Amino acid sequence: MKIVTLVGSLRKDSLNRNIAKALLALAPKSLDLKLIEIGNLPLFNDDLDGDHAPEAWTHFRKQIQACDGVLFVTPEYNRSVPGCLKNAIDVGSRPYGKSVWSGKPAAIISASPGATGGFGANHHLRQSLVFLDMPTMQQPEAYLGHAGDLLGPDGTLTNEKTRAFLINFIDSYAFWVAKLRDNNA
């Protein structure tokens, strides 16, 4: 199953990006996780859409259309979803009636150096996914607090409990996506 991974941070040394990278290695064989960049997407503007939409939008929409699910790994900005990720969501949701998100099973991991693990962003994102008709895995939830302490200086995952937690998370997601697929077959 092809799973697109979207990271809500554009930073090179992003904690969330490094957690997403760790997940690529921890995912079971049934999942083909691919990290897709969203920093190149022009800000959504309805005036630019239609037959002459920016190439980056069209390419992004095709990548989402072709996938079997979407994994979001995001920080929290001002208790909400970072603008780059919200922009990607908006781009994929248009033109009206042609959203590429509909029906794609999603899962969310939020991570923050703070104690609350991006809970606000995680749940604001869930609100958008309800509207976009993306079934979203309920359990396990993933709010990774003090995320700076979970990774080494080179950005690799060093915390064994977190590794075990992430393996369980991504295995649960794989199981759930396959179940949804089989139910819809």
**Between 60 and 77, whose beta carbon lies closer to ligand FNR?**
77
Q: How far apart are CA 86 and CA 43, in angstroms?
A: 10
Question: What three-state secondary structure class fits 143?
Answer: strand
Count of residues interacting with ligand FNR (CB under 6 A): 16
Stretch that binds ligand FNR, among 14-22, 55-63, 92-100, 157-165 (CB under 6 A): 14-22
Contact of 34 with 21, CB cutoff 8 Å: no
Q: How far apart are CA 119 and CA 158, in angstroms?
A: 22
Among residues 54, 114, 135, 155, which is the contact residue for ligand FNR, using CB under 6 A? 114
Among residues 3, 4, 5, 9, which is the contact residue for ligand FNR, using CB under 6 A? 9
- For residue 127, the one-letter residue type is Q
Among residues 78, 138, 139, 183, which is the contact residue for ligand FNR, using CB under 6 A? 78
Q: How far apart are CA 99 and CA 184, in angstroms?
A: 20
Binding mask 116-155 for ligand FNR (x = CB under 6 A): x-x-------------------------------------
Q: How far apart are CA 145 and CA 76, in angstroms?
A: 11
**Which helix (DSSP H) or strand (DSSP E) does residue 63 occupy?**
helix 55-65
The token pair that represents 126 in the structure block? 């869930």
138: number of Cβ within 10 Å: 9
Residue whose C-beta lies closest to ligand FNR: 75
110 binds ligand FNR per the rule CB under 6 A: no
Among residues 2, 11, 59, 181, which is the contact residue for ligand FNR, using CB under 6 A? 11
Stretch that binds ligand FNR, among 34-42, 111-119, 126-134, 167-175 (CB under 6 A): 111-119
- For residue 152, the one-letter residue type is G
Binding mask 47-76 for ligand FNR (x = CB under 6 A): ----------------------------xx
